């Protein structure tokens, strides 16, 4: 789903609704689970967008969703998770705390971990954006995609390049959280010691799959 598109000299630049694309990946992940896997629910860690999407997808399937959220997450995003029936478990703001807390929930519940971006099921779900875009406007030759953990751009690039190998995929991230840029320069995943951006959804670092 698109929030807006602008056509400039034959190049169509699209901006995606973050909440909408997260639901694609979450649904694909949730409905990829067989009944034995799904019975104990799912767990994830997220600052809000993936959390809300996974909570809603789990609700639609009728299974529990345990959502680890950092204490500094925006209140509106936390309320979305609760509204969709997700069970909120708080963590400290660091990625280390988020992951440790999620692992403890896994051990306690037997739930399945659905990583917010470094998961093939999530990546595949996000790739449906490219299928719809290029079906509706095959002349698109450039896509600009926000990058954080890389789930969205991985799916978009895989699907778009499969349809049109010549299409350009450009990644956009805040200068104060430019770990993806630095990773490309260094030729390896580079994690920043500090990030400086109000865009809470763009503070994650690349995973081995999205890299």
User: What is the CA angle 162-158-18, rounded to 5?
Assistant: 130
Query: Following CA atoms 109, 110, 115, 121 in sequence, which dihedral angle do they give, to the nearest 10 degrees?
Result: -140
Q: Tell me the pLDDT tens digit for each residue of 98-145.
A: 999 999 999 999 999 999 999 999 999 999 999 999 999 999 999 999
**Domain boundaries defined on the chain:** 2-17+121-202, 20-119
Helix (H, G, I), strand (E, B) or coil at 88: strand
Nearest to 50 by CA among 34, 64, 29: 29
pLDDT at position 200 is 72
What CATH number has the domain spanning 20-119? Answer: 3.40.50.1100
pLDDT average, residue stretch 18-47: 91
Q: What is the CATH number of domain 2-17+121-202?
A: 3.40.50.1100
Give yes or no for a contact between 178 and 147, defined as CB atoms under 8 angstroms apart. Answer: no
Concerning whether 47 is annotated as a catalytic residue, the answer is yes
> Token pair for residue 158?
């895989």
Mean pLDDT, the chain, as a whole number? Answer: 89
> What are the DSSP calls for 131-182, one per residue?
HHHHHH-TT--EEEEE-SSSHHHHHHHHHHHHH-TT-EEEEE--GGG-HHHH
Q: Which of 22, 77, 91, 130 is catalytic?
A: 22
Per-residue pLDDT tens digits for 177-200: 999 999 999 999 999 988 888 877
Catalytic residue selected from 46, 47, 124, 130:
47
Q: Is the pLDDT of residue 19 over 60?
A: no
pTM for this prediction: 0.85
Number of Cα atoms under 13 Å in the Cβ half of residue 155: 27
pLDDT given at position 194: 84
Residue 156 to residues 129, 140, 150, 168, Cα–Cα distance (Å): 6, 13, 10, 11
CA max distance for the chain: 56
The residues with which 195 forms a beta bridge, in sequence order, are none
């Amino acid at each position: 789903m698109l929030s807006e598109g602008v056509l400039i000299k034959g190049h169509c630049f699209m901006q995606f609704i973050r909440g909408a694309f997260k639901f694609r990946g979450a649904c694909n992940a949730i409905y990829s689970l067989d009944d034995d896997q799904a019975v104990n629910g799912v767990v994830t860690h997220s600052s809000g967008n993936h959390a809300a999407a996974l909570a809603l997808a789990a609700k639609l399937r009728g299974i529990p969703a345990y959502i680890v959220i950092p204490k500094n997450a925006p209140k509106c995003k936390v309320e979305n998770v609760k509204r969709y029936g997700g069970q909120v478990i708080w963590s400290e703001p660091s990625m280390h705390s988020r992951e440790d807390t999620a692992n403890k929930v896994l051990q306690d519940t037997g739930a399945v971990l659905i990583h917010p971006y470094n998961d093939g099921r999530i990546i595949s779900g996000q790739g449906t954006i490219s299928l719809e875009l290029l079906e509706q406007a095959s002349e698109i030759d450039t896509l600009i995609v926000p990058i954080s953990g890389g789930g969205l751009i991985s799916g978009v690039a895989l699907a778009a390049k499969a349809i049109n190998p010549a299409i350009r995929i450009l990644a956009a991230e805040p200068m104060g959280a430019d770990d993806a840029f630095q990773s490309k320069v260094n030729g390896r995943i580079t994690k920043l010691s500090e990030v400086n951006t109000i865009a809470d959804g763009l503070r994650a670092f690349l995973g081995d799959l999205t890299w």
